[in-house]
Structure 1
Amino acid sequence: MQACQVIFGDELTISREFLEYVQLSGVKSAYRKRAKETHPDSLVGQGQVAQLRGAQQFQRVQKAYKNLSFYLDAREKGVRVAVVSPAARANPYQAGRTARTDFNRKRAQARHRQKTAGSAGQGCGYSKERPSHNGTQGNLFSGRLPNRPLLFGHFLYYSGLVSWQSLIKALVWQRSSRPRLGEIGCRFGWLSPEDVFSLLRSPDGRPIGQRAVDRGLLTPRQLNTLLALQKSQQKRLGEYFVQNRIFEKARLQEILRRYYAHNYRQSKRARQAC
């Protein structure tokens, strides 16, 4: 984040969404501008102190551009680079202790999951709920299924198969796995990298697609098309529970059949009531 402030300026609001969408072309453009402003040649004839400060600033710009290029390259390869918080920079000793504690805790949790993986779900192909990612057992719903059509995630919860906490984690995983709207728009030629960069520089809490429509960069029909494509390319919710060994594939197929049967019965009942 500090590298972004050096390259783009202090007036830019850095958010997770910005880091996800920023493109190398935008970084290069901002870098050239900053490098030109801070280049030592532009300070010829000024005092020695001003030249020294300018040289230091120019070096910071070079380092920031190198760090951002590394981040973008890692992001394109699917590697998530941890962002160091200001608190960690201010107290690296404490940050190191915290990191070691987190590592040991996660390793202990992984060993516990491995020990329970062999026995959990034997005979039925699934475990109703394994320990959650923070080591605690999630609360399972124990009532009756609602008499209405349900989304698949809600069906899992109301069937007592997963906890609400696990369902939220699955939905976050699904959302993070889908392609970014700006990338799809650029692929179709409806948006340019400069358009996306401009939208990310001025976040106002609204989705990027809605802001693109308000600025006349997309039509409502184009936005709906992009949203439909984005949704169609995201991973299915059930894959999360298979990957995390909450369900086996065969058991997931059985649950899906029950899910479709439930929604069919509820839809048929609603039609008959009309």
Structure 2
Amino acid sequence: MTASLHENEVLKACRTLFGPDVWLDRHFLGYLQPDGVRAAYRQRAKETHPDRFPGEQRIQKLQAEHFHAVHHAYDLVRSFLAQRDQAGLKFSTSRTSHQREQPPPHAHPHREKPAHSGSGPIPSRAYEIGSYLYAAGAIGYHALIEALVWQRRQRPPVGETARRWGWLDEQTIRRIMLHRSRHCRRFGEKAVEMGLLTPFQVRTLLFHQRSRHQKLGQYFVQQGYLSAEELDALVQQMHGHNARVHLHAGPRRSAS
């Protein structure tokens, strides 16, 4: 592998590992050391590990995708370092204007450059608003995860609602939580398994919970990622995109 042939690919992998606030250029590749790469990988792997969000399938799916991307970036950078040192590749230590990236803005630590530039086609599948904004390049990955966590925190806990409705008491809730933490089960699933709630009660609690959280798009407006007008336009684009996807998919054939 030559330095020039894969330089952009290595820089992209370094961006995945080191985040948006590190100034990346040929000079960076010249002084990059295995210990620094390993430390960055461990931190990013910890941040993106799906186990951080037990029971949250939507967030876990996104985390898994980025966890694998981090692992791939780590392997690529390690291979680059091994070949760089073995071949004695030299990198210029002078920073010229055409070699370096401009440092990213620091107004918000997680406002990284979105992974999708928005200029290419969006993959042909139906989206919810958060994943569509990410696919369209309107927000970055960290912003999407922040928004999903924020939305989750708006929801009233299932156990608390069941207590207010007189379906469970405090002692029973603690018992469910204890067994749930041991077996990584969702609260409602564990309550049904223990015979403390019926499936219908759990569905009612979950419907109530979903009806109380705020819309995901509000987060991006509140935090200044998008204006209300930009969000409205992107929502309309998403509806049009999803309609085309469903139209092209056609009616599903029932299994005989």
Specify the TM-score bucket, using the shorter chain as the normaliser. 0.5 to 0.7
Q: What corresponds to 2:206 in structure 1?
A: 227
1:131 & 1:155 partners in 2: Cα distance? 25
Alignment CA distance shift 1:132-1:180 (3 Å): farther
CA contact (8 A) 1:144 1:158 kept: no
Alignment CA distance shift 1:157-1:272 (3 Å): same
CA contact (8 A) 2:154 2:214 kept: yes
1:211 & 1:154 partners in 2: Cα distance? 29
* SS state at 2:250 partner: helix
CA shift at 1:130, angstroms?
A: 7.5
Letter in 1 for 2:208: L
Q: What corresponds to 2:173 in structure 1?
A: 196
2:168 & 2:144 partners in 1: Cα distance? 34
2:111 & 2:241 partners in 1: Cα distance? 31
2:193 & 2:252 partners in 1: Cα distance? 42
Alignment CA distance shift 1:191-1:133 (3 Å): farther
Q: Give TM-score, length-normalised by structure 1.
A: 0.49
Alignment match of 2:224 (pick from 245, 249, 253) = 245
Q: What corresponds to 1:184 in structure 2?
A: 161
Q: What corresponds to 1:31 in structure 2?
A: none
1:158 matched to 2:140: no
CA shift at 1:137, angstroms?
A: 2.7
Letter in 2 for 1:179: P
- Count of residues paired in the alignment: 147
Letter in 2 for 1:261: G
Higher helix content, 1 or 2: 1
* SS state at 1:235 partner: coil
Deviates more, 1:234-243 or 1:251-260: 251-260
Letter in 1 for 2:116: F
Alignment match of 1:167 (pick from 119, 141, 144) = 144
CA contact (8 A) 1:178 1:231 kept: yes
Q: Give TM-score, length-normalised by structure 2.
A: 0.52
Q: What corresponds to 1:134 in structure 2?
A: 109
1:147 matched to 2:127: no
CA contact (8 A) 2:159 2:173 kept: yes
Map Cα deviations across residues 249-272 of structure 1 (whole Å, 9 max, x no partner).
122111111111111111111116
CA shift at 1:140, angstroms?
A: 2.9
CA shift at 1:201, angstroms?
A: 3.6
Map Cα deviations across residues 27-73 of structure 1 (whole Å, 9 max, x no partner).
xxxxxxxxxxxxxxxxxxxxxxxxxxxxxxxxxxxxxxxxxxxxxxx
CA shift at 1:154, angstroms?
A: 1.2
The CA RMSD measured in Å over matched residues stands at: 2.5
CA contact (8 A) 1:132 1:166 kept: no
Mapping 1:205-216, distance limit 5 Å: 205-216=184-195
CA shift at 1:273, angstroms?
A: 8.2
CA contact (8 A) 2:110 2:142 kept: no
Mapping 1:84-103, distance limit 5 Å: none
